[in-house]
Amino acid sequence: MSKSTFAIIAACSAGAGAALTAAMYSLPTQSERKLSTPTQTLSTTTTTISTNATSAPIPIPSRQGFSPVGQPNALSTSAPAALGGLSPVDPAGLFEYGFPGPVADLATRQALVSSFDRRLRNPHWVIEHITPASVAMRDGDRKHSVFIEDDGVPEKFRAKLKDYFRSGYDRGHQVPAADAKWSQSAMDETFFLTNMAPQVGEGFNRDYWAHFEDFCRRLTQRYPSVRIVTGPLYLPKRDPADNKWYVRYEVIGNPPNVAVPTHFYKVIFAEEEGSGSPSTGKVAIGAFVLPNAPIPNEKPLADFEVPIEAVERASGLEFASKLPPQRRKRLCADTSCALIIKDYADRQKAFKSPPANAGGALVKR
């Protein structure tokens, strides 16, 4: 998929998201109905969020309202005159039975923060932070870690270990275990299935994607602080039979449960000295979209670079809304976006302490 095609797809996909947002936030702002539901507690394995809906009407973000200027809570002009302009309906009353969502299950762990998509059983995004010090530490070893379901997600929305069994896909880390070697417990937490998505193994997760993760770690040799957001995408593809665009993806599990992404993204924020908050330092940003498919190691990483706005439109997310343009730089213009390719079999042998002269490296530009 070319960069221009991806940009077109991203622009088109924004429409559906905008419509959903408009529908969700167009509830009548004149409703004063009080909710009488008890306090509810939403829990993940690491965070607890309490909400109390008994003391206020349904909150509608002011900037999402559709009232005329100067009339913050204007009534609908279609309301019957016999009712004195008051609406005869109250759609928000349904919330007395419960709020339908969508709900994002947030988890804050030692080495990552994640947001889980209950519908597709994959993360929306997973955030990590690596530094020269964190990458240099070697207190964790993945041979002591095991994949585990996240009981912070309700069982009916959860990705299951059995979903991946004989599926033909790897349990693909979004934040790699190798980025959490500074602590065994931190590394263990990267094995929650809320940090996973189905990835093609040979040629991708075990090869090109792994080299890409290594590239991110090597950025700490140039920058003192590197923050990364990783997640799946489900992009449309043109069907040559009718020349129309379709979103098609496999769903693994029995019964079908976990969606298989068509693509994955990484948005990288490489911070220079003085970029800590609050700061005025420069931040080198790189956004990349890779297909969930085998990729030849000879393929330049720069071929997968896209504008950050394209990832935002395709994902429905915003990554740098508070970072002013004057502080931004393009990552691949500030440093070499080159992968160091090492045979996966050699990397596997590294767990068994191979001889010092085993294997070799090749730089692809």
- Of the residues 124, 129, 144, 173, only one is catalytic, namely 173
Does the annotation mark 173 as catalytic?
Answer: yes
Other beta carbons less than 10 A from residue 101's beta carbon: 10
In 3D space, the residue among 229, 228, 218 whose CA is nearest the CA of residue 136 turns out to be 218
How many residues does the structure list for the chain? 365
* Residue reference for tokens 């539901």: 37
What does the alpha-carbon distance between residue 132 and residue 124 come to, in Å, rounded to a whole number? 27
Reduced to 3 states (helix: H, G, I; strand: E, B; else coil), residue 60 is coil
85: left (phi over 0), alpha (psi -120 to 50) or beta: left
Pairing of strands 328-330, 283-291: parallel
Cβ–Cβ under 8 Å, residues 46 and 151: no
Please work out, in degrees rounded to the nearest 5, the angle formed at the alpha carbon of residue 160 by the alpha carbons of 158 and 163.
125
Peptide bond into 198 cis (omega under 30): no
Which residue type is seen at 167?
Answer: S
What does the alpha-carbon distance between residue 214 and residue 337 come to, in Å, rounded to a whole number? 12
In 3D space, the residue among 159, 323, 347, 331 whose CA is nearest the CA of residue 256 turns out to be 159
Active-site residue numbers?
Answer: 173
